[in-house]
Structure 1
Amino acid sequence: MTISKPPIPPGLLPEGLSDRLPPQAEASARLARRVLDTVASHGYERVMPPLAEFEDTLTHRLKSARAQDLLRVVDPVSQRSLALRPDMTAQVGRIASTRLASAARPLRLSYSGPVIRLRANQLRPERERLQVGAELIGTDSVAAAVEIVNVAIEALQAAGVTGITIDFTLPDLIDTLAAGPLPLAAEDIERVRAGLDAKDAGALARLGAKAAAYLPLIEAAGPFHAAMERLEASSAALGGAIDSRIAGLRAIAKPIGWDITLTLDPTERHGFEYQNWFGFSIFADGFVGEIGRGGSYAIVRADGGEEAAMGFSLYPDPLIDAGFGHEAPRRLFLPVGHDAARAAALRMEGWRTVAALSHADDGATLRCSHWLDGAEPRAF
């Protein structure tokens, strides 16, 4: 027996998906434009990858996502499985390594568009999110990191964000130490990572002396300068094993303005699965969770090799919901029989005009702030 499903109400959307209505849709576009204009002023050129790609090629580049975590469909043309992008960084890497493989390096690219996740989380219940960012391809040097971090800060400030915190991390620090001065068996590396992520000193101690050697890294977290001193002490005890990483972090932090709060958590790995020597999360006062992240990583070239890269992604939806990007528009109501030439001139001055289609139209009801009285705008 076939059980019929009740009809879907016309306004109902799938869980985690929503419409953006006026004025939020306009605010979203405005905020994204401010970010893109800022990164463009530093030489980043925009690319626009498609919303979906072949699942095989997308998952090959998404080191932090599994195929079963992607929203997939079957392409009726190729009869192959497609995946809707959960992240645009991997797509930019594909573009750089194929269509722009012969472009001069370092290659600066920017992007903006929606991404969709199969599942949401408790902090961010939405499954569709706006992602805006920039990628610097061809180098993962300290100079590149300095540029990326400061462009990200400048972009957020251009969007009106204040109270910014940058939290630095060294995503591959445990792998580096485990392969060198603090050796660990392969089966113990994930346990040590879990203990460090939870800041659980007892768990590390229970794993034995080799794992306990990582305990000082728990203390090397917190406000940047104090945490860096503790990290430097740990490095000195290991014969300077991570001095180059420390010098890199110092150089990245040096040009950042005094109004930006800096913190350090050298072993943070959540969300940094594909970054290597350097990563950072971006927070802002009044918002729960991060509003962006970035760092160094490697993209897969067409020949199977890897190319160094650096970048950041912003997820501005919480900012938009909080009112960032919103502006009171100058909407001018044009009554029937208005002067069309004068209306055109006013649009050139920045007015948004709403023309009456009949004498019954009311400017105030149509959310206009002014009406055209002869040749001059008048406030309602």
Structure 2
Amino acid sequence: MTNALLPEGFRDRLPPYADAAARLEAAVLGAAYAHGYERADPALAEFEAGLAGRLKSARAQDSVRFVDPVSQATLAVRPDITAQIGRIAATRMGHHPRPVRLSYAGPILKLRASQLSPERELRQIGCELIGLDTVAAAVEVTQVAVEALAAAGVTGVSIDFTLPDLVDILAAGPFPVAADKIDLLRDRLDAKDAGGVTAIAPAYLPLIEAAGPFEAAHQRLCAFDAGGALTSRLDALWKIAESLKGRVALTLDPTERHGFEYQSWLGFSIFADAVRGEIGRGGSYTIVHENGAEEAAMGFSLFADGIVAAGIGGIARRRLFVPLGSDAALAARMRTDGWVTVAALEAGDTPEAQLCTHILSHGVARPLSA
């Protein structure tokens, strides 16, 4: 029998994890809404050609494609929602005064997954600010991310900043690098491969050491930037970090590139205690309008599954068993007081069978253990 099996990388989300995921989503979106980020809900699938044009780097190859029996066109299931928000901002909301603040939550589907992260169907939650990528925009986006995670009960948050266009700036200015070597140099820096960097451009070696706790790493990067090519970026980073100081742990890895291929001047990864790997990622990027014009944007995405899997967002069950013949009005009042009531529907029903922690007895909620 294979009727109960699911394809590799897919899974059912059962209680209480599905409930925890819903609470996490509601808390994050509620915090975002309080800052003016209204929810958009993009379609699950789009025409493959249009979606691929908005997905940068390898993400365009990460889409599950199929032929639509109605249009006979190739469609793609989204592997990322950020690009769809960009499409909405550029088309359906192209007339809207800037900046546009949008939030979202929903499933994404990847064509393949890694051995370390075998999941292919994931939940993504996020916010995008379309029309600006200034320091003020970056401060707002990172603060909304931190507040949203706090509202969801996520603790021990840390943010690791990076400068995705760092090599491009340096290669075009104080430390020239042959065009056909730039991609390889980025990869070697990202891998912290000192030997590989030395073989391509030894002047870039100090960048490997310019990583770690934010203030020390920022100071090392400032010392490296003797020519001033990075001054505006480093000043901006400092202002963003100052706005978060004391609220989260901050680190800096200026050459981190994996996952930031489509970001422009700023990228950041979000981590939390007890959660394996990143719980989110964000930064600055551009969206493309139908006339080819590019527009600045800033945002972040959270990966809900990892957060919930770590037990964050869950709450202890508080279920009240309501025996047959109980007063319905009393049960309603108990729900108003925050109880989850589970009514007996037949004589043989028991609180244990319904996973209840309490029983309604003589008008009072009594713990089962008592």
Fold in common (TM above 0.5): yes
Alpha-carbon contact 1:123-1:289 (below 8 Å) kept: no
1:51 aligns to 2:26 (yes or no): no
Partner letter of residue 140 of structure 1?
D
Correspondence 1:290 to 2:278: yes
Q: Is the 8 A contact 2:280 2:301 kept in 1?
A: yes
Is residue 263 from structure 1 mapped to residue 256 from structure 2 by the alignment?
no
- Counterpart residue number, 2:193: 200
Cα distance in 1, alignment partners of residues 348 and 265 from structure 2? 65
- What is the match of residue 346 of structure 2? 358
Q: Which residue number corresponds to residue 364 of structure 2?
A: 376
CA distance in 2, matches of 1:153, 1:171: 22
In structure 1, stretches of 5+ residues that fail to align are 1-7
Establish whether residue 344 from structure 1 lines up as the match of residue 332 from structure 2: yes
Give the CA deviation at 1:311: 0.2
Deviates more, 1:61-70 or 1:175-184: 61-70
Q: Who is 1:321 aligned against? A: 309
> 2:72 matched to 1:79?
yes
For residues 6-54 of structure 1, the C-alpha deviation after alignment (integer angstroms, 9 at most, x for no partner) is: xx52221011110111111101101111111111111110111111111
Give the match's secondary structure for 1:371: strand
Post-superposition CA distance 1:271-328 (Å, at most 9, x none): 0011000010111223332111100000111222111000000102122112111112
Aligned match for 2:163, one of 167, 170, 183: 170
Of stretches 33-42 and 322-331 in structure 1, the one that deviates more from structure 2 is 322-331
> Hey, what does 1:28 align to over in structure 2?
21
In percent, how many aligned pairs have the same letter?
61
Partner secondary structure for residue 240 of structure 1? coil
Distance in structure 2 (CA, Å) of the matches to 1:257 and 1:183: 35
CA contact (8 A) 2:280 2:303 kept: yes
Aligned partners of 2:170, 2:339: CA distance in 1, in Å?
60
Deviation at 1:267, TM superposition (A): 1.3
Give SS of 1:258's match: coil
The question of whether the paired residues in 1 share the 8 Å contact of 2:143 and 2:244 is answered with yes
Please state how far the C-alpha of 1:204 moved relative to its aligned partner: 2.0
Aligned twin of 1:134: 127
Counterpart among 176, 179, 182 of residue 186 in structure 1: 179
SS at match of 1:182: coil
Shift of 1:67: 4.2
- In the alignment, the residues of structure 1 paired with residue 72 and residue 266 of structure 2 have an alpha-carbon distance, to the nearest angstrom, of 40
CA spacing shift, 1:259–1:106, aligned 2, 3 Å: closer
Alpha-carbon distance between aligned partners in 2 of 1:348 and 1:277, rounded to the nearest angstrom: 49
In 1: Cα distance, 2:156 partner to 2:57 partner: 29
1:121 aligns with 2:114: yes
Q: What residue is the counterpart of 2:322 in the other structure?
A: 334
State whether residues 84 and 116 of structure 1, in contact with CA within 8 Å, keep that contact through their aligned partners in structure 2: yes
Q: Which letter maps to 2:249?
A: T
Cα pair 2:154 2:313 within 8 Å, conserved: no
Q: 1:18 to 1:299 in 2, by over 3 A?
A: same
Q: C-alpha separation between the residues in 1 aligned to 2:246 and 2:61?
A: 44
SS for the counterpart of 1:108 is strand
| Distance across 2 between alignment mates of 1:181 and 1:279 | 23
Structure 2 equivalent of residue 110 of structure 1: 103
Equivalent-residue separation in structure 2 for 1:32 and 1:245 (angstroms): 33
Query: Residue type of the partner of 1:225?
Result: E
Q: Distance in 2 between matches of 1:14 and 1:108?
A: 36
Question: In the alignment, which residue of structure 1 is the partner of 2:10?
Answer: 17
Q: So what's the TM-score if we normalise by structure 2?
A: 0.96
**Aligned equivalents of 2:275, 2:311: Cα separation in 1:** 12
Q: Is the 8 A contact 1:64 1:271 kept in 2?
A: no
Rounded Cα–Cα distance in structure 2 between residues aligned with 1:165 and 1:377: 41
Q: TM-score, normalised by structure 1?
A: 0.93
Is it true that 1:233 corresponds to 2:223 in the alignment? Answer: yes
Q: For the residues of structure 1 that align with 2:283 and 2:47, how far apart are their CA atoms?
A: 26
Change in Cα spacing, 1:264 to 1:66, as seen in structure 2 (3 Å) is closer
Give the AA of the match of 2:239.
Answer: A
Which amino acid is 1:279 matched to? G
Q: Which amino acid aligns with 2:199?
A: R
Aligned residue pairs total 368
Deviations 1:226-261, CA, capped at 9 Å, x for gaps: 11111111112xx21110000000000002132522
Contact residue 163 and residue 259 of structure 1 kept, 8 A: no
Paired residue type of 2:72? Q
Unaligned segments of structure 2, at least 5 residues: none
Task: Say what the alpha-carbon RMSD is for the aligned residues.
Answer: 1.4
